[in-house]
């Protein structure tokens, strides 16, 4: 495992971080985490050198933090930097912040958090937490040792990102970034700006929720196969990010032990500035193909869920994108026919769009699903 300094802190973190938003589940139910498998995976990662573990209050309906607390028993807590997040959208008072943090201590079976982030900041959530004295909360939690470092995760535009970076002496930020998102949300400009201010950079969605590595289009695979060094699409996605010396940690939402084994192996070669110009050009070609084939901008993050009308929004969009990418509308329609929570259940309430980090016009795109696959 390779390690990098996290921004202006003196902490050395593994370049591969374990993101616990996509732990293995039972029966397709997001809140029924397969605890035995999850604990095995997390401990295998730690035994293999991963020392940055990321979770958040809402992941798996709150089960992510609880399962992680079990995984970090038996001395594992002392081996890692633990990161979790304040649910910014749920804050209604200054007291709420302490209440949520105390609840997270209970779930995680710990009395301190190494990296405490304000979760999913956008313009609205940023204004909300400022209104309720988030800076006083952070200063207080730092002073009494409940948290060691402060940060935020982010889903909005560069101007809002810059404002947040400049507002407080943060230690780190967590942004969505991959070879498709160089100009999306904070983007490359935000990444470099935060790094110039000394913030550690933690990357989420390195594969856009698996979209860049599952069911790879033939023309994309042909480009990957043409490389002098053979790598899987997963390794290409990770190596693209580790090539940036400004990036400290890349989070992977691993849901199978094989994912952990492979990613640990890939991390042994994740040196900064190690890709050749030819390899960077190859990644650019892949990016253009994906861009031309993307029907709807969805990473499967589940922030839109649950839908009050029972629509499985990410699954609907997965079938729509697959039909476009693989020119296989009939095949995807057959799979879609067995989906519980089809697009036709949508009542257009709009709650999902308020929550979507990608600002996807969900209601409009669900109509595209119906148009392609029928009711």
Q: Is pLDDT above 80 for 192? A: yes
Predicted confidence (pLDDT) per residue in 134-183, tens digit: 999 999 999 999 999 999 999 988 999 999 999 999 999 999 999 988 98
Alpha helices in the chain (DSSP H): 35-47, 63-71, 94-108, 123-131, 134-143, 158-165, 187-196, 218-225, 233-242, 257-267, 277-293, 313-325, 329-336, 351-355, 362-373
Residue 247: its pLDDT value, please?
98
Higher pLDDT, 27 or 206: 206
pTM: 0.86
Per mean pLDDT, which of 192-196, 295-299, 352-356 is the most reliable?
192-196
**Interior/surface letters 219-242, b for 16+ CB within 10 angstroms, e for the rest:** ebeebbeeeeeeeebbbbbbbbbb
- Taking the C-alpha atoms of residue 63 and residue 33, their distance in angstroms, rounded to an integer, is 7
Confidence (pLDDT) at 168: 98
d(CA 99, CA 91): 10
**Phi, psi of 17, deg, nearest 5:** -110, 150
CA gap 134, 92 in Å, rounded? 11
Q: What percent of the chain has pLDDT over 90?
A: 83
Contact 207, 178 (CB under 8 A): yes
Q: How would residue 335 be classed by pLDDT, with cut points 50, 70 and 90?
A: confident
* DSSP codes joined into one string, 29-51: EEEEE-HHHHHHHHHHHHHTT--
- Binned at pLDDT 50, 70 and 90, residue 66 comes out as very high
């Amino acid at each position: 495992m390779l390690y990098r300094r996290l921004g202006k802190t003196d902490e050395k973190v593994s370049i591969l971080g374990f993101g616990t938003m996509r732990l293995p589940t039972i029966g397709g139910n997001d809140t029924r985490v397969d605890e035995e498998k999850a604990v095995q995976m997390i401990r295998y990662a730690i035994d293999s050198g991963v020392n940055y573990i990321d979770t958040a209050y809402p992941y798996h309906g709150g089960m992510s933090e609880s399962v992680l607390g079990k995984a970090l028993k038996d001395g594992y807590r002392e081996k890692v930097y633990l990161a979790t997040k304040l649910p910014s959208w749920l804050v209604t008072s200054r007291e709420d912040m302490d209440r949520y943090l105390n609840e997270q201590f209970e779930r995680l079976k710990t009395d301190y958090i190494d990296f405490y982030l304000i979760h999913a900041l956008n313009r609205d959530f940023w204004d909300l937490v400022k209104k309720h004295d988030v800076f006083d909360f952070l200063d207080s939690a730092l002073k009494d040792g409940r948290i060691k470092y402060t940060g935020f995760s982010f889903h909005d535009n560069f101007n809002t990102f810059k404002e947040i970076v400049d507002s407080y002496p943060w230690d780190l930020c967590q942004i969505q970034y991959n070879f498709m998102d160089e100009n999306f949300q904070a983007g490359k400009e935000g990444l470099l700006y935060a790094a110039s201010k000394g913030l550690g950079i933690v990357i989420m969605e390195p594969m856009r929720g698996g979209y860049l590595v599952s069911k790879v289009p033939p023309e994309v695979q042909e480009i990957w196969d043409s490389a002098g060094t053979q790598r899987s699409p997963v390794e290409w996605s990770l190596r693209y990010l580790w090539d940036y010396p400004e990036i400290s940690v890349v989070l992977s939402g691993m849901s199978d032990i094989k994912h952990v084994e492979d990613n640990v192996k890939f991390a042994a070669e994740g040196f900064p500035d190690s890709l050749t110009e030819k390899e960077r050009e190859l990644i650019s070609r892949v990016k253009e193909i994906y861009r031309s084939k993307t029907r709807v901008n969805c990473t499967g993050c589940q922030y839109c869920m649950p839908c009050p009308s029972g629509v499985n929004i990410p699954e609907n969009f997965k079938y729509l994108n697959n039909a476009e990418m693989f020119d296989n509308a009939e095949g995807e329609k057959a799979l879609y026919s067995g989906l519980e929570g089809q697009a036709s259940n949508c009542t257009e309430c709009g709650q999902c769009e308020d929550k979507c980090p990608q600002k996807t016009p969900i209601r409009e795109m669900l109509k595209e699903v119906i148009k392609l696959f029928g009711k």
